[in-house]
């Protein structure tokens, strides 16, 4: 059991930065390619966007295997999120009941006086 907890912590410490970098890559480096047959392919990888202009359709070339790799790599993001959620559920199976907090109410000092007198008013 200790091994599983240690493995879960190490997995979490490694996968969270990878997940954040993948989100960053998907946000900053996404672009489209218009293929010869009219198919539009969207993927993300670092590229020099200054030389390509402001159009989302980029002119740099990829092979079919590169398109496949980028498509599969973007799906890893979803699988990593599912794995993190599953690891979180597996690591704490005994915590099915919600934790009950103590009911503590701290009364502010201005509520100490229970005077029933109304606020002052100006009579004109």
Cα 85 from Cα 78, distance rounded (Å): 11
Of the ranges 6-15, 43-52, 60-69, which one carries the lowest mean pLDDT score? 43-52
pLDDT at 73: 73
pLDDT digits (tens, 9 = 90+) for 66-102: 777 777 777 777 787 777 777 766 666 555 556 666 6
Taking only the tens place, the pLDDT of each residue in 47-61 is: 765 655 666 677 777
Residue of 37 and 98 predicted with greater confidence: 37
pTM of this structure: 0.47
Band (pLDDT 50/70/90 cuts) for residue 16 is: confident
Rounded to the nearest 10 degrees, how much is the dihedral formed by the CA atoms of 7, 72, 86, 22?
Answer: 70
Q: Are strands 40-44 and 30-34 parallel, antiparallel or unpaired?
A: antiparallel
């Amino acid at each position: 059991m200790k091994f599983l907890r240690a493995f879960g912590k190490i997995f979490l410490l490694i996968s969270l930065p990878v997940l954040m970098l993948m989100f960053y890559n998907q946000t900053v480096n996404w672009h489209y390619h218009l293929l010869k047959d009219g198919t539009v392919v969207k993927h993300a990888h670092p590229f020099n966007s200054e030389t390509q202009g402001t159009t989302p359709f980029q002119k740099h070339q990829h092979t079919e295997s590169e398109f496949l790799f980028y498509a599969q790599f973007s799906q890893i993001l979803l699988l990593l999120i599912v794995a993190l959620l599953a690891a979180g559920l597996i690591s704490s199976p005994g915590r099915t009941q919600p934790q009950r907090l103590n009911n503590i109410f701290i009364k502010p000092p201005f509520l100490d006086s229970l005077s029933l007198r109304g606020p002052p008013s100006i009579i004109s």
